[in-house]
Structure 1
């Protein structure tokens, strides 16, 4: 298949502060699909042109750039309407795709579990449905590559009529519901066991999976099956991994790793991945992993916070983990009230991160002494398992425990408190 060479096109509406970065991000997304970026065209506008997205004069300029750079693809930085795709392809006589298709393509390549594959396919079909007509017309211009794979095996998928696509969406959604129900049962179970849940969130490629693996290595037993996939690329993780972290003092928590965010994450995708993101919504604490070595890291923080707001997550306590501090020349590890500067790959700052997490999620522990009668031996075993027993002494009346335990257990067994 010939190398895909693309021109990127963006419209800066009313001087958006993040515009330049979103174009840079578009180039990264294209690279993740093995597309070479050979040119870029941007335009400042107050409102989008309904028929062509860009102004008609710019369409001419784009045509010239496309020919001069011998490109074979044009990628727009926003989601295009069906009529915009159709008009642009007619006037430019070439293949036009938008940011959404690019992201859907990457997600399709990365999806490993059945649930992630279903989520991506539902999002793709929902994107395709209103665009069938335009896509049909552009088929003649397609020679494989990005933006066609997710239109199925080319023509055959597109020749499905609307009704069959709708049927497919509903069949896949049903299968997805089963997976979601299963996940909810697991979550209820965890709530019942009262194990706190900590969720890693952040921009794609900030190092969430590396942080998770570093924690697993230190506190989870590092069996191969425990480690999660980590790679220096966009959207390496699409599946939610849940792992148990066992601390030396008998406390434990669950750690979840989620799909990374990017700006303008397509709404179909947010909808499809809602079940995965619900893991985040039910967390007791978020660890927002930031690539501190990225000069635009503050923008990436904003993008993540914005995406969390979009999926309805606003009031969960958060620790900021400024990762890759070694590359940023930061003196690490450095801890502030709710932030830590660290380097997960080098395993620098992991104990400090765990201390920060503990201070948040185990706030409801109290230090106490109890004298438990010998006929209540079961209770001693319970505390050995569910509390941090600092000292046990055997006296005439029973076992004296000095420990840190949950406030709830303290209240429940108050009669034994000394």
Structure 2
């Protein structure tokens, strides 16, 4: 019988992590068939896309309500696929509001559930750990501080490193060549990266403010330009429509090359999320920004209990990047923080030193390969051979 599994990723970073994981699983088990909710990265890795990611990719309590019919249809499509294909193993990646609901139905069908990339229970709604303990057969976490949390609550857990380190980062000596590639010439003024997110809704909220901040910064630094990394899952038209409404200095949109764009930039405005950590690992000084629906924000303030929202700051354990959230995320504030990074050598040196420590916290590469092997072994989908020289790194685990 052909081994098969269900893999569910509801947003861009999950699609990316899932693609790395699936590539490693198929390397070990070439006959594996993966049915998925996901995006272009998972499709390229060989998944059969049952539900396109953009049907699920929405952020905020009130925003979800407007997309509910499509979400329900996606939920039913995934379960119909599980029933039709007799799938008995699922990998759910982050996206807890949808995935934990799906997990209940999967569990009732006897599906073994592996959860990859933990919901941020340590930040808010900690009570969900009881649901996870009941539904999830094994939790695979990507931050070292998450493993003790789950162990203390009786959830079988493994920390095997962070998948962001599984792909190479641009080297510092590549910076100038990347700048010339993207601009078509050597830059005559600083270069800023603008990363307004991976969801159309957050892009529409943040990109106008970022462009306005760039225009303010141009008054202090004539000739400044910006690079904009465009996620493969988002239409270029979303950006073009916004650019027509906001006066701004020249911007160049680059599709699908986030790390190279960040490496080319002197500093960056980055929407809160995995992108802040990835930018920090590249080594580019950044300002973390976020704006959401006002009702969702009020509710989040009541529920969330963390000292920072930027993943780069949470992993570092200190504020290595300033955060501008909601009303504080004005174009003027963004411009002022970028100016501080660009004009104060001591501030820039401090930030770069803090960012360098991030890799020490997260460890080395090989997380995707280790987790792929563990899932295949635990699920019995196939028996991974013992491969000499296969990735090994410090990891911890509690038994199933």
TM-score (norm 1): 0.31
Bigger Cα Rg: 1
Normalized per residue, the structure richer in strand is: 1
> Which has the larger share of helix?
2
Higher relative contact order (CA 8 A, sep 6+): 2
